[in-house]
Amino acid sequence: MDAAIVASHQVAIRGPDVREDFRVAPTLAGLAKLTERLRPYRGALVVAEPTGGSWVALGHAVGDAGCALALVKNRDSARLRKAISAHNKTDVIDAELLAQCEGVLSMEAAPPVAPQVLALRRALTRRHRLTVDAHRAECRLWSVASWAFPDLWRACGGHRVGQPVLSRWPQLGALARAHVTSVAEVVAGHSHDRHPLRRAERIRDAARGWSWFWEGRLDLGTLAWEVAALLDDIKAADARHAAATAKGVELWQAGWPGDVLCSVPGIGEICAAATRAWWGDGQQLRSAKAAAAFVGLNPSNWESGLSVSPSRPLTKEGPPALRLAYYQAANVARRHDPGLAAHYRTLMVERRHNHISANCAVARKLACRAWAVLQSGRPYEVRDLDGNGVGQPTATVLAAELAVPDEVRRRARASVRRGRLSD
């Protein structure tokens, strides 16, 4: 079935001595007609693409007819269609292709999604989009700062100090004339700097230097207006993100009070909520590897003849919101779980990975542990490297002892691939 949002759904029924094609509108009357047309084929598998949210209503219409719904990713169907029909694409071709996907892609019926799970999934999907929007808003401010006053931005050390400083003094001239103690108060309130007065002097000196440099060359009033507008965008994006986060946590707490997932170090409200939104109780996932593959944290494989590439990039086939939640949770888990801390240290120190790849490997292990907790229904027990159960404070101390040295982190950040012309 080639599902549509505005146009009609194209349906192709294929089977032994069965060949039927028809269209139904994406309306109540069309869904009722679809149910009636599918009743003679009770027990059949209906394959469709998750176009927008059309699969939600289609799933209920198909279920009322006694059939099961399976979803194929748009990317997979597009690749298959291009391999079969080259550059030709029509709704009829798409429906014909989807009707035969079961034998090619080994499709399985998708379990019906409970209303509370679907609501939580949509809330967290919106939160993920707002997370990206908030990051982009910060990047736009960073882009302006990188050419208009880079020394000032470096003296602030990034957004944590730069945003509050520029919110109070968006005009370079005003910041250049500000008292050092006033700037130091802002620095001390938004950082852990042991010498805020020293950083405040660097910030004011950088603002003074760029104010002199741009005198007669750049309209500083317009620059201040642009910086203030960008800060307003960041504030609005943060407010929308906070509202979506609160709604997601509210739905999660209402559906799963005292969630056992929170017993796993590193898994907090957002990661547990995202896990419930896409996994539910996790019974449809057959193994820990299947759970990691669902998130998209498993490495891809490439083998051809005598050529084998075992260390490949991640597939990233899962929901982006769920994958980001586990990536961020892994960054916390490795500081409180000795086993994950040791694995992270091995990848960074012995195998010379960078932080991102090592943290993704920790996230993969964290997803496997979350799946195991869901299968057993028992709280997670933290253990040391010898397999003995320990309390959380002791586990945190043991994990801190396995922290990666600073020189290793500097080495990983400084590694740059040399191009052909560098010689």
> Do residues 325 and 270 touch, judged by C-beta distance below 8 A?
yes
Three-state SS for 194? coil
- The whole-angstrom separation of Cα 267 and Cα 263 is 8
Look at residue 421 in the predicted model and tell me its pLDDT: 43
Residues 6+ apart with CB under 8 A from 393: none
**Would you state the CATH architecture of domain 9-112?**
2-Layer Sandwich (3.30)
pLDDT in tens, 117-161: 999 999 999 999 999 999 999 999 999 999 999 999 999 999 999
Provide block-wise average pLDDT over 10 residues at a time, the chain (423 residues): 89 90 94 95 90 88 94 78 80 86 75 90 96 96 96 95 96 96 96 94 97 95 97 97 97 96 96 96 91 90 71 83 96 96 95 92 96 96 94 95 90 55 40
Look at residue 49 in the predicted model and tell me its pLDDT: 86
Look at residue 319 in the predicted model and tell me its pLDDT: 92
- Measured at the CA of 253, the angle between CA 248 and CA 255, to 5 degrees, comes to 95
- The whole-angstrom separation of Cα 290 and Cα 371 is 9
Helices marked H in 149-260: 150-156, 159-168, 172-176, 180-189, 196-213, 220-255
Taking alpha carbons only, the member of 337, 207, 175 closest to residue 267 is: 337
Note the pTM of the prediction, 2 decimals.
Answer: 0.87
Look at residue 207 in the predicted model and tell me its pLDDT: 97
Residues 6+ apart with CB under 8 A from 157: 191, 199
Look at residue 309 in the predicted model and tell me its pLDDT: 67
Domain ranges of the chain: 9-112, 119-243, 257-422
In the chain, the amino acid numbered 80 is L
Look at residue 422 in the predicted model and tell me its pLDDT: 40
